[in-house]
Amino acid sequence: MSVLTVLYDADCGVCSHTARLLVRTDKQARLRLVSIQSARLPDMPPRAELMEVLHARDESGRWFQGAAASVEIARRIPIARPLTLYAKLPFAMAILDMMYRSFAANRHAISRMLGLKACQVPAGPRGAATRP
């Protein structure tokens, strides 16, 4: 199985915590975690788009985003593989994507609620940063 490059928001507590957890559980080194803030990949989407939802790129250059990226990660982490089975059910990806996008839109507030580091710049429309 190819290595999947996963881009995460280093300014998001939940994202950073999840990235650390993935590194610890990735015993076969199938994931490469890279912060969006330092990423330099070929054909990379614009940073504003990357900040909206999780993005991952496989070695063949295919990009995955949102719930599809989560499922690709799960394919490479044995403990998370049941998610890949659920994703095969009718309408499951639409449900997963809706849930994922809701979570992603609120990830900084969730980070603060959990006592994790959170970006101090509030997000404006479609994830664009606004001045405080």
Q: Specify the pTM.
A: 0.83
Dihedral, CA of residue 24, residue 28, residue 30 and residue 35, to nearest 10 = 20
How many Å apart are CA 110 and CA 106, to the nearest integer?
Answer: 6
26, 45, 58, 87 from 3: Cα distances, Å: 11, 19, 6, 20
pLDDT digits (tens, 9 = 90+) for 44-78: 999 999 999 999 999 999 999 999 999 999 999 99
Average pLDDT, the chain: 88
